[in-house]
Amino acid sequence: MPQLTDWISACSAAVSAGATFVTIWMTGLNWKFSQKSEAQAELFEQRKTSLIEFQAKIQGQAWIDSYFRDLLEWSHRVADNISCAIHEIDCPDAEEKRRVLAALSVSIDAGRWYFPNKDHDLHGIHKEPAYRGLRQPILDWLVYAYRVYAELEKVDNKRRYLVHCQRNFVSIVQGIVDPRSRDKSIKKVFADFEAVGSLPDVGRPDR
């Protein structure tokens, strides 16, 4: 009987040791899987973050491309309007003159969406938000062209002044859309519109 008891005790010890080993092994295996799972989760988050940043970059580039495409379309219309003023400066048709003046006026206001005024809090603070501050030079040339064509500016040889306005306008636009200076132009665009964000909201009209 002592031998049987010893054998049973030995078996029990062996089973106990085996169970302990299995427990330790399973614990190590679980820890290994846990570490692997955490690493995979971290890698997934990194890839997710990279994807979001890439999407934001793509969306930002799409906005920039759209901005410059719209800017070129607006510039083309402006150049066309000034060209009409140049070639019709002596036109006796009052209706045609009103049409050209209206087109130039629209070009000036639409230009504020691409070239907002500066120093909104220093000049013209009593005006509507988009008209506060000082016009950028590119729009000054359009305003001057309008005034010359409308004969608000008493100058001789109006055609020469209009050609001068057009050439300066084209030169400014060329400097903006030139691929070599695109990064600089983009930074200026964001800087201009950062100030616009501080302008007050426009309310409802008084009745």
**Concatenated DSSP letters of the chain:** -HHHHHHHHHHHHHHHHHHHHHHHHHHHHHHHHHHHHHHHHHHHHHHHHHHHHHHHHHHHHHHHHHHHHHHHHHHHHHHHHHHHHHHTTT---HHHHHHHHHHHHHHHHHHTTTS--B-TTTS-TTS-GGGSSB--HHHHHHHHHHHHHTT-S--S-HHHHHHHHHHHHHHHHHHHH-GGGHHHHHHHHHHHHHHHTTSPPP-PPP-
> Tell me, what amino acid is at 197?
G
Q: Could you tell me which residue, 87 or 10, shows the higher pLDDT?
A: 87
Burial class (CB within 10 angstroms; exposed 0-12, middle 13-18, buried 19+) of 63: exposed
What does the pLDDT read at residue 203? 64
What does the pLDDT read at residue 131? 84
Cβ contact 173:138 at 8 Å: yes
What does the pLDDT read at residue 204? 64
Report which listed range, 13-17, 72-76, 174-178, 184-188, is most confident. 72-76
pTM of the shown model:
0.66
The answer on pLDDT for 184 being more than 70 is yes
The answer on pLDDT for 27 being more than 90 is no
What does the pLDDT read at residue 20? 60
The answer on pLDDT for 53 being more than 90 is no
Q: How many residues does the chain have?
A: 207
Instruction: Round to whole Å and give the CA distance between 49 and 71.
Output: 33
The answer on pLDDT for 64 being more than 90 is no
What does the pLDDT read at residue 11? 52
Question: Mean pLDDT over residues 145-153, rounded?
Answer: 89
What does the pLDDT read at residue 194? 74
What does the pLDDT read at residue 99? 93
The answer on pLDDT for 2 being more than 70 is no
What does the pLDDT read at residue 126? 83
What is the average pLDDT value for the chain, to the nearest integer? 78
Calculate helix-pair angle for 94-111, 2-87, nearest 10 degrees: 150
| Token pair of 50 as six digits | 């990279």
Instruction: Round to whole Å and give the CA distance between 117 and 133.
Output: 5
